Amino acid sequence: MAKRSRVGTQSAQAPLPRVDASRAAHPTAGGPATVVLRTPKRTIQLRTAAPAVDLAQAAMQWTYVVRSRQRWSSAETTANQQASGAADLLQALGVDRDALADLARAGMVEVSTKWLGSEETDWAARIFPWEYVIAGATRSLRGDLPLTVMRHLDRGDKAPPKDALKRVLFVASEPGPLRGYYSFDTERELVKTHLQVNPVNWREVKSPTAAELTAAVSEFKPDLVHLAGFDTHEARAVIRQSSKRAAAAEVDPSGQDGADERQDGYVLAGPQGLHHVRSEELGQILTSKGHRPRLVSLNIRNSAARIAPLIVAAGAWAAIGFQDIFDDDLAELFFSVLYSRLSRSGWDLTNGFRSAWERVRSQPGTRQGSGIVLWSATPLFAAGGVLTARRSGQHYTQLTEQLSKQEETSIEADEVKARDVGKWITVDIEAIQDLNYSMLHNQRSLFKRFILTCPNPHSRTIRHVRVRVSLYAGTEAAAFDRTLDLRPPSIDLQDIHVPLTSNITRSVHESVRTSLFVEVTWGEHVLYRNTIPVRLIPVDQWRDSDDDRKWLPSFVFPRDPAIVRLVDTAQRYVRVLRDDPAAGFDGYQSFDRSRPDETASIDLQVQALWSTIVHELRLGYINPPPGYSNELDSQRLRTPSMVVTSNSGTCIDLALFFAACLELIDIYPVIFLLEGHAFPAYWRRSEDHDQFRKARPSRIHEIVQADSRTSTIFGAQRDAWLLGKPTYREIVQFVNAGKLVPIETVRLTENCGFAEAIESGRDNLREEREFAAMIDIVLAREEQVTPLPILGEAI
């Protein structure tokens, strides 16, 4: 990362640019939105016109909360606070305690909103994350009882057609520079297999133009359309992430045809390679010539709030979409279960959706609040609807018992002939090619995909499948060995990791080519056996990519001997600065609410560290060490001991060095990553950090801009400690409030004063387009992302 010079000479107290809130629109005229909650036992008309509730404001606030769920959901206290806030909101909307208890016991809840013929009308009610708010509000009342929330877009339809589903259209769109980013082979086969589609009723189109997709729908008239590919926001991110793809793409997918980059949509092929298809346009394409698909499945991100309901508004009987980012393997599991249930239950969409969603939520590691949304043109709990209130619970129980009974029957390997093994189980594996010690150290999987699938939709539980994986490192091997039972339709082995017993894995100084041996057997049947070439990356090498930048906290070494010595030396500086011979580094314990400058002692401790580094170490700036990599985002990092020994470091070396000092004295550090630059910051109070963790900023209109067509809420937070581009405005709020203090540590090499370094740090954050991420070290430690065991080593 390049050296960053100070920009401008503005005061450290000057606020960063505020976001223009003029586009934070509210629902258009025509009265309050009509929102009705239905259960098998009651109907609740919400008071959306209540003075205490601004539905547009609440929709933006809670969408931001849900999409930041990785930040707060792992902490019980914060999760309970969010649940309490959700209950308070429903109470303000007219859901009293008795009604809330009914919702908790219902098993299923329908949220019905009226369609008044315009995307501009009642948009807030549609984008509102009712699934999480209702589930969160009833959390304490439900215990272990599952709750599935579904949507009804009321456009006057009473009941769907009763004809059997036959024709299936599979659309895999990866035009231009997006080609090859995903493989759709597994997804295509699961749709075919679990729906049991007759070949004459199957049609597939690959990367079509809008005209070609319109023609396919008009001619084939599919009952079910399964869309795979990219929503606008993901396509934009993919192209920008890869320098090679960005160079190949002359046109941004979000900017074609005058499209606003903040609009939700689907990417098809276009004259210049890519065509952003807006939600309304996609609905018109899929319902061309008056055709009404029974179901449109949107296996794309950011598709539940606008794309799915507008497809239903255009004429589809139902549509399924994802609220934001969703794990690809879990999505395939969801559709496998859904389609298997549909093919075996006579097209019972409601119970099929409920069963599939509950299966996904039962998977280990599934985060609270993630959302799959079913939109239906017909009511679920009304006479003539998809599922009547009278038989909803009974039918679901009978269906579940019937299917579970079949799945609980088992089959052993010796009951199957070798030639028929492929009918019972298939293996889909993709290994990670470059393995870094930081990834292995944090017990992350060796594979991008490791999925065992039962291709037979009527399959039974397959007993005693054995999985063996060995990572060779020199003359040693780190091994994984497990025997498991495979329950239909599939299992994703996301937790395959190996013990770090090999010395070579932590002592690799240069890239080493080695191999990964993988074997999957079922009794005497060999399902998969392969030796996969992989590369062990040097232990000090870090890649600033979407997949790997999150491991940066493992390179913050608070127990490195150089850091321990420096903090000991800094004791005399802190005593002078705090004017107290007995003073020391006591972190947030020195916080004093009784003083007007209550955080002054915190700042003085940080200043003592800064002064010690400036006056005792006399550091200089140096370029990054060679990485011998063609990837521009790869860089080798220096430990604190190496920085002190050489009296030099890069911008990221210095940021890590200072963050380690802060962590050792128990002041919470973060690291900012810009395009080509890095620098640290610190939280002035632990309470400020707690407030940030809740992801409920007070002035949401300064952070999120939303109206009927556009939204700046996309790109969900994937990891608790990694805050990406969508959090920039929230972070700026905390910086402007003086709660988060950025420091330009390259100024250490210029003998710069502490206040001037803070000013430079603030200046670094003035350009939103340069912001890449903020990494919170405390949140990373809570998620067990710990320092690598290379303290003091001269790598």
Between 545 and 193, residue with greater pLDDT: 193
pLDDT, residue 346, reads: 74
Domain assignment present for 660: yes
Residue 369 lies in a domain: no
pLDDT for the residue 633: 56
Q: Which of 89, 122, 154 is the last residue of a domain?
A: 154
What's the pLDDT score for residue 780? Answer: 95
> What integer pLDDT is reported at residue 26 of this predicted model?
43
Q: What are phi and psi of 663, to 5 degrees?
A: -65, -35
- Asked if residue 352 and residue 219 are part of one domain, the reply reads yes
Q: Which of 97, 91, 76, 72 lies closest to 133, judged by CA?
A: 91
Query: Which residues are 154's β-sheet partners?
Result: 114
Long-range contacts of 642-647 (CB under 8 A, 24+ apart): 642/794, 642/795, 643/562, 643/619, 644/562, 644/566, 644/617, 645/794, 646/622, 647/617, 647/618, 647/619, 647/620
| Alpha-carbon gap, residue 513 to 500, rounded angstroms | 18
CA 748 to the chain's CA centroid: 36
The whole-number average pLDDT for the span 585-611 is: 86
Asked if 309 and 194 sit in the same domain, the reply is yes
Cα 367–chain centre separation: 10
Token code pair at residue 368: 């609270």
> Based on the domain organization, do 124 and 205 belong to the same domain?
no
Does the pLDDT value for residue 693 go beyond 80?
Answer: yes
505 pLDDT higher than 90: no
pLDDT confidence band for 66 (50 / 70 / 90): confident
Residue 632 lies in a domain: yes
Contact 714, 726 (CB under 8 A): yes
Q: Are residues 455 and 525 in the same domain?
A: yes
Q: Which of the pair, 347 or 766, is modelled with greater confidence?
A: 766
Domains in the chain: how many in total? Answer: 4
CA distances from 75 to 368, 543, 691 (A): 11, 29, 13
pLDDT digits (tens, 9 = 90+) for 536-579: 877 777 877 777 789 999 999 999 999 999 999 999 999 999 88
pLDDT-based confidence at residue 458 (cuts at 50, 70, 90): low
Burial of 789 from C-beta contacts in 10 A (0-12 / 13-18 / 19+): middle
More confident residue, 343 or 227: 227
**The predicted structure's pLDDT at residue 668:** 97
- Place 766 in a pLDDT band, splitting at 50, 70 and 90: very high
Give the bridge partners for 410, in sequence order.
461
Give domain status of residue 45, yes or no: yes
Amino acid at 88: D
What the block records as the tokens of 336 is 């496998």
Question: Does residue 571 sit in the same domain as residue 659?
Answer: yes
Residues 522 and 561 in one domain: no
In a domain, 25, yes or no: no
Q: Identify the DSSP state of 649.
A: E
How far apart are alpha carbons 548 and 433 in whole angstroms? 13
> Is the domain of 489 the same as that of 578?
no
Residue 396 is encoded by which pair of tokens?
């679901």
Place 407 in a pLDDT band, splitting at 50, 70 and 90.
low
pLDDT over 90, % of the chain: 45
- Closest Cα partner for 69 from 324, 305, 300? 324
What integer best gives the mean pLDDT of the chain?
83
Write down which residue in 124, 154, 184 finishes a domain: 154
334 and 212 both lie in a single domain: yes
Contact in structure between 500 and 441 (CB atoms under 8 Å):
yes
- For the CA atoms of the chain, what is the radius of gyration? 28
| pLDDT per position as a tens digit, 678-691 | 999 999 999 999 99
Q: What are phi and psi of 276, to 5 degrees?
A: -75, 115
Does residue 239 belong to any structural domain of this protein? yes
564 and 581 in a single domain? The answer is: yes
For the residues 114-133, what does the mean pLDDT come to?
91
In this structure, is the dihedral angle defined by the CA atoms of residues 709, 712, 715 and 720, taken in order, positive or negative?
negative
- Same domain? For 526 and 551 the reply is no
In this predicted model, what pLDDT tens digit does every residue of 49-59 receive, in sequence order? 878 788 888 88
For 540, the token pair is 């000090």
Tens of pLDDT, residues 18-29:
544 444 444 443
Assign 3-state DSSP to the chain and report helix, strand, coil percentages, each to 5. 40, 20, 40
Q: How confident is the model at residue 500 (pLDDT cuts 50, 70, 90)?
A: low
Can you tell me the distance from the alpha carbon of 505 to that of 71, in angstroms, rounded to the nearest whole number? 31
| Residue 290, pLDDT score | 92
For residue 52, the model assigns a pLDDT of: 78
Q: What is the CATH number of the domain that holds 427?
A: 2.60.40
Q: Is residue 724 part of a domain?
A: no
Q: Please report the pLDDT score of residue 21 as a whole number.
A: 43
Residues 766, 768: Cα–Cα separation, whole Å = 6
Q: pLDDT tens digits for 700-751?
A: 777 777 777 776 666 667 888 999 888 899 999 999 999 999 999 999 999 8
- Above 70 in pLDDT, residue 10? no
> Is-contact 574 604, C-beta < 8 A?
yes
Cβ atoms of 437 and 788 within 8 Å: the answer is yes
Chain-centroid distance of CA 70 in Å reads: 8
> In this structure, are 325 and 192 located in the same domain?
yes
Listed range (81-85, 252-256, 427-431) with the worst mean pLDDT: 252-256
* Residue 387 lies inside a defined structural domain of this protein: no
Q: What's residue 289's pLDDT? A: 93
* Confidence at residue 388, expressed as pLDDT on a 0 to 100 scale: 44
Q: What is the CATH number of the domain that holds 630?
A: 3.10.620
Shared domain check, 593 and 470: no
Q: What is the pTM of this model?
A: 0.84
Give 350's pLDDT tier (boundaries 50, 70, 90): confident
* Distance in angstroms (rounded) separating the CA atoms of residues 729 and 718: 18
pLDDT tens for residues 286-343? 999 999 999 999 999 999 999 999 999 999 999 999 988 887 878 888 998 899 888 8
pLDDT digits (tens, 9 = 90+) for 622-666: 876 654 444 445 678 889 999 999 999 999 999 999 999 999 999
Q: Is the peptide bond before 626 cis (omega within 30 degrees of 0)?
A: no
C-alpha 671 chain-centroid distance: 20
Write down the pLDDT at residue 375: 96
Segments forming the whole domain that contains residue 83 = 36-154
Biggest CA-to-CA distance, the chain: 87
Q: Are the C-beta atoms of residues 604 and 682 closer than 8 Å to each other?
A: no
Stated length of the chain: 795
| 3 state SS of 546 | coil
Q: Average pLDDT for residues 508-534, to the nearest whole number? A: 88
Mean pLDDT is lowest, of 171-185, 651-665, 723-737, 781-795, for 781-795
> 42 pLDDT exceeds 80?
yes
Domain's final residue, options 539, 561, 595 = 539
Rounded distance, CA 650 to CA 658, Å?
Answer: 12
Could you tell me which residues are beta bridge partners of residue 424?
none
Q: Are 302 and 234 in contact (CB under 8 A)?
A: yes
Exposure string over 527-546, b if 16+ CB within 10 A, otherwise e: bbeeebebebbbbbbbbbeb
Coil, strand or helix: which one is 60? helix
